[in-house]
Amino acid sequence: MTLQESKDLDYLISDESKRRYPSRLKTCIKYFNEPNMVFLGGGLPSSDYFPFDNISINVPKPPFKSGITNSIVEKDDKQEDVTDISLFKDLKIFDNDIPLSRSLQYSNTQGHPEFIKFLREHTEIVHDMKISDWDIAVSCGSTSAFESVLRIFCNPGDIMFFESNSFSSFIDAARGQNIKTFPIPIDEEGIIPEEFEKILNNWDSNYRKPKLLYTIPTGQNPTGSTIKIDRKKKIYKLAQEHDLIIIEDDPYYFLQLYPYIKDVNKREFLNKDNKVNSKDFLKTLEPTFLSLDYDGRVIRLDSFSKIFAPGVRLGWITTQKRFIEKFMRLHESTFLIPSGFSVSIITNLLNKWGQEGYLQWLINLKREYTIKRDFVIDGLIKNIPKELIDNEIIKIYPPEAGMFFIIKMNVKKHPEFKEKDKFNLNIEKFEMYMYEKFVKNRVCIVPGIWFSAIDPELDISKNIEIDDYIFFRGSFAGTSKELEKGLERIGETLKEEYIDQKEKKRSK
């Protein structure tokens, strides 16, 4: 299939972004590494004075025969399980190494070619790209990339669509820049396209119509929901009809887990002999918004935070080339480049593992997080009184992706919810009370209200219906020891509140 060029959507950018031009000084950096060029044009410190001569790091080696969790130190005698990452100031061992004299120097804001090349190949393997002029720019993780999105596309006072409960740091980031947030109803499968359509079609013309939809399609934070392809197609169509840009923030994309099976003996993925082939793994992944994007209206944010470690502060942005230019213009005067240590270590690791090795890492991660998800769901079923679950006073859902689980609680079924001198039907009061009760019982899970995209400063944002259930978010990323204790305490708290309280009332 011949790919089409993306649409020119530059008219959607912010006033700030319109004012940005390429830094004239930065245009000459491309000559820095050219042979026979005497480069005296930049304020680049001499790498002779970088006090870093070499770095050596051991990481596990694909296909990760002994799993991805064991410390390499513990298996000193098994050197065949180790990938050695050795980087030198001026020496390249492999073609794709970025020597420290280069990675620790000022350089092109888009990213080093060795890194971008790997990511381009990865993109072609994972996403079915529909436009010809797509490109990639490196980021310092999705938090920083999201901040850039706000500055490139929003003017103060703009309104932006968010899932009705969404990642609170990004809601705060938007509001901090005087961008209002408008909630889109979601359920266990993410954004409800029909509800979104109603909102778009009935938009109050007294308010500027949003240009951006921010979504976390996989293992959503906080609800754990995942948007399937049918809904994604409908949402993308709405974005086309209403000229929206979709910000696809997908840090949990590769944590799409095996289905939850109640019977432990039937959990086949646990069988270590079941080798997963990377082609089969790729087939199990939900297609992304990026893969549906014929116009170039999707901006995808990827991050290594949940794949390697949050502290590497490295990620990437994929979208049409014109938008990538806008990111580069901004980044030239904000973060410039991510840490050279991170870039050279991660680039070396990726190139040594290769695309196949990286996929094997992701396959292992999926298995590990499925074990944790199953542990938590089994534990909730075990610890929450059965009658609360059977009567749907408490609802739990095995998330299909990510690292979050939610516990839904029917507020109206709480024995004191309607009592005037207690909660007096005040949901917020009830949520905060429950939060404090969990903390008192030494387990910290967080109330859904903290993730609400209802904007207190935007009247039309408040029309969203609230149902009988509130929710609390927990993470299953912890150790099984921590999780076990936490789940017992959650069960105990719910029993005290919904069963013991009722008994107390009855016996009064």
Residue 218 interacts with ligand PLP (CB under 6 A): yes or no: no
Specify the DSSP class assigned to residue 456. T
Nearest to 163 by CA among 204, 211, 202, 213: 213
Q: Of 114-122, 138-146, 172-180, 262-270, which segment contacts ligand PLP by CB under 6 A?
A: 138-146
Q: How far is the CB of 214 from ligand PLP (least distance, A)?
A: 9
User: In the complex with ligand PLP, which residue's Cβ is closer, 167 or 417?
Assistant: 167
Q: Tell me the C-alpha distance between 414 and 432, whole Å.
A: 14
Nearest residue (CB) to ligand PLP, 168 versus 441: 168
Which range touches ligand PLP (CB under 6 A), out of 139-147, 191-199, 338-346, 432-440? 139-147
Q: Measured from the CB of residue 302, what is the shortest distance to ligand PLP in angstroms?
A: 8
Helices 321-331, 142-153: crossing angle, 10 deg rounding: 100
The position carrying tokens 């990938």 is: 83
Q: How far is the CB of 472 from ligand PLP (least distance, A)?
A: 16
Is residue 399 near ligand PLP by the rule CB under 6 A?
no
| H or E element at residue 348 | helix 340-383
Q: Which of 165, 221, 226, 351 binds ligand PLP (CB under 6 A)?
A: 221
Answer positive or negative: Cα dihedral of 306, 312, 318, 323: positive
With respect to ligand PLP, which residue has the nearer C-beta, 315 or 340? Answer: 315
- The residues pairing with 191 across neighbouring beta strands, listed in sequence order, are 186
**Is residue 168 a contact residue for ligand PLP (CB under 6 A)?**
no
Contact yes or no for 51/28 (Cβ under 8 A): no
Q: How far is the CB of 315 from ligand PLP (least distance, A)?
A: 5
Residue closer to ligand PLP (CB basis): 87 or 246 = 246
- Among residues 97, 135, 147, 249, the one that binds ligand PLP under rule CB under 6 A: 249
Phi, psi of 376, rounded to the nearest 5 degrees? -70, -45
Cβ at position 216, least distance to ligand PLP in Å: 4
Q: Is 226 in the site for ligand PLP (CB under 6 A)?
A: no
Q: Tokens for 484?
A: 């076990």
By the rule CB under 6 A, 254 interacts with ligand PLP:
no
Residue type, 37: M
Residues in region 468-497 near ligand PLP by CB under 6 A: none
Which run of H or of E encompasses 486?
Answer: helix 480-495
Considering only CA atoms, which of 247, 38, 266, 282 is closest in space to residue 147? 247
Q: Quick check: 248 binds ligand PLP (CB under 6 A)?
A: no
Find the part of the chain contacting ligand PLP (CB under 6 A) among 101-109, 135-143, 223-231, 318-326: 135-143
Please name which of 108, 47, 42, 141 lies closest in space to residue 342, comparing C-alpha atoms.
Answer: 141
- How many CB atoms are located within 10 Å of the residue 401 CB? 24
Query: How many residues at the interface with ligand PLP, by CB under 6 A?
Result: 12
**Closer of 142 and 320 to ligand PLP (Cβ):** 142
Q: Which residue has the tokens 């996403």?
A: 127
- Contact flag: residue 143 with ligand PLP (CB under 6 A): yes
Say how far apart CA 482 and CA 476 lie, in whole Å: 10
CB 264 within 8 A of CB 101: no
Residues 210 and 180: beta-carbon distance below 8 Å? no
Is residue 403 close enough to count as binding ligand PLP by CB under 6 A? no
Cα 471 to Cα 396: distance, rounded to the nearest angstrom: 10
| 251 part of the interface to ligand PLP, by CB under 6 A | yes
Nearer residue to ligand PLP within complex by CB, 179 or 216:
216
Answer yes or no whether residue 303 interacts with ligand PLP by CB under 6 A: yes
141 in contact with ligand PLP (CB under 6 A) = yes
Whether 180 contacts 459, CB under 8 Å: no
Which of 251/379 has CB closer to ligand PLP? 251
| Residue found by looking up tokens 């596990």 in the block | 60
Q: Is 339 in the site for ligand PLP (CB under 6 A)?
A: no
- Is residue 315 involved in binding ligand PLP (CB under 6 A)? yes
Instruction: For residue 310, state whether it binds ligand PLP (rule: CB under 6 A).
Output: yes
Residue 95, CB-side half-sphere exposure with 13 Å CA sphere? 3
Taking the C-alpha atoms of residue 59 and residue 84, their distance in angstroms, rounded to an integer, is 7
Tell which phi-psi region holds residue 425, choosing left (phi > 0), alpha (psi between -120 and 50) or beta.
left
* Cβ nearer to ligand PLP, comparing 141 with 491: 141
Smallest distance, ligand PLP to C-beta of residue 15, A:
26
Least distance to ligand PLP, CB of residue 403, Å = 9
The stretch among 64-72, 78-86, 137-145, 157-165 that binds ligand PLP (CB under 6 A) is 137-145
Residue of the chain from 58, 83, 101, 305 that contacts ligand PLP (CB under 6 A): 305
Asked if residues 65 and 357 have their Cβ atoms less than 8 Å apart, the reply is: no
Q: CA-to-CA distance for 109 and 135, rounded, in angstroms? A: 13
Least distance between ligand PLP and beta carbon 327 (Å): 15
Q: Which stretch binds ligand PLP (CB under 6 A): 36-44, 157-165, 180-188, 302-310?
A: 302-310
Using CB under 6 A as the binding rule, whether residue 142 contacts ligand PLP is answered as: yes
Write the burial class of residue 60 (CB in 10 Å: 0-12 exposed, 13-18 middle, 19+ buried): buried
Interaction site with ligand PLP (CB under 6 A): 141-143, 167, 216, 221, 249, 251, 303, 305, 310, 315
